[in-house]
Amino acid sequence: MTILNTMPARVLGFDVAKDTITVFDSLTGSLQTIANRRAAVGALLCGLDRHCFGVCEPTGGYEVLLLEQLVAAGIACHRADTVKVKAFIRSFGTLAKTDALDARALARYGQERWQRLALFSPADGDQQVLTALVTRRQELGTLKVAEQNRAKAPGRDAINASCRAMLRVIARQIARIDADIDALVKRCQVLARSIAVLQELPGVGPRTAIGLAAFMPELGSMTRRQAAALAGVAPHPKDSGTIRGHRSLRGGRPHVRTILFMAALAASRAKGHLSAFFQRLVDNGKKPIVAIAALMRKIIVTLNARLRDDRCKQS
């Protein structure tokens, strides 16, 4: 994780919408709204120096143009976690929400938290393509399940033909995306090597490995605690006084957690040390779902270590 070494002299808060970007400048106190277009963003950044720091929130991908332009201009920037920013805003007793208020809050968030904010770094082209393809495949999978459920619902005889037609189209699209993913992995040696290392662990099949490579490209560059937290499988305590509550899995990336759940189910039934680890927890009185959660964490920590060691060997 790359962070700033010195306090920024000027922080810009960007509230990004589909068509506009509201900008607050902490140095001048000015507030303006520009079009969310390359020319308008470029004109804004022309008057800025490298000592600025930009902060924005994820907005369904509409913030990517701004982030790429900031990186190209040599300006440090951070894409903030929406949950953290909203909690930061509420801590001041602010209940209203406008673009101007959000832009001001993002600038203030950057001023106060700059020492702990990871700088945005765009993924390479192949990584972006892989993430887009795997995301689309998951969307099609969700559509497939929905159509299958509709076809099986009672009183749906009149629309069964339509459901079957949709399922055939979805199946063809999934097959086409699978072919595109396989071609991409064969073409990119870095992705191919990472996916091969991931598949060496019992329970991690080709689709699981591809999903992890798409949604968690940071694997192999983090500590075990960071890997578990980012994957959403770190147990968080809930204690108060003498009360010791149940640890629960919170935060992280939901797509990765779903992938790890299926991998843990497979690993618990496969031969090897992971199934022995799962069975030992169950024999010690842990509920099966708790043992699966522990196995999910063990899987991501192990994969992170294996990728790290493999990259060290290659370097």
Residue-level pLDDT, tens digit, the chain, 315 residues: 688 889 998 999 999 999 999 999 999 999 999 999 999 999 999 888 888 999 999 998 899 999 999 999 999 999 999 999 999 999 999 889 999 999 999 999 999 999 999 999 887 889 999 999 999 999 999 999 999 998 888 877 788 889 999 999 999 999 999 999 999 999 999 999 999 999 999 889 999 999 999 999 989 988 999 999 999 998 878 888 888 877 778 788 889 999 999 999 999 998 889 999 999 999 999 999 999 999 999 999 999 999 999 877 766
CA distances from 107 to 15, 31, 46, 57, 85 (A): 10, 11, 19, 11, 11
The reported pLDDT for the residue numbered 151 is: 87
Phi, psi of 244 (to 5 degrees): -115, 100
User: What pLDDT was estimated at residue 234?
Assistant: 86
Cβ neighbours of 151 (radius 10 Å): 17
pLDDT of residue 315: 60
Backbone φ and ψ for 304, nearest 5 degrees, come out as: -60, -45
Matching residue, tokens 């940071």: 218
The pLDDT, as a whole number, for residue 311 is 79
- Reading the block at residue 72, the tokens are 């190209």
Please state, as a whole number, how many other Cβ atoms lie within 10 Å of the Cβ of residue 156.
13
Q: Return the pLDDT at 75.
A: 93
110: closest CA among 83, 79, 70? 79
Tell me the pLDDT tens digit for each residue of 73-101. Answer: 999 999 999 999 999 999 999 889 999 99
Structure tokens at 278: 């799962």
Contact 303, 260 (CB under 8 A): no
DSSP symbol at 7: -
Contacts (Cβ under 8 Å, ≥6 apart) of 213: 130, 191, 194, 195, 198, 219
Instruction: Supply the pLDDT for residue 1.
Output: 64
Print burial letters for 134-146: b (CB count within 10 Å at least 16), e (below 16): beebbebeebbee
Q: Residue 81 burial (CB < 10 Å; 0-12/13-18/19+)?
A: middle
State pTM to two decimals: 0.82
The pLDDT value recorded for residue 310 is: 84
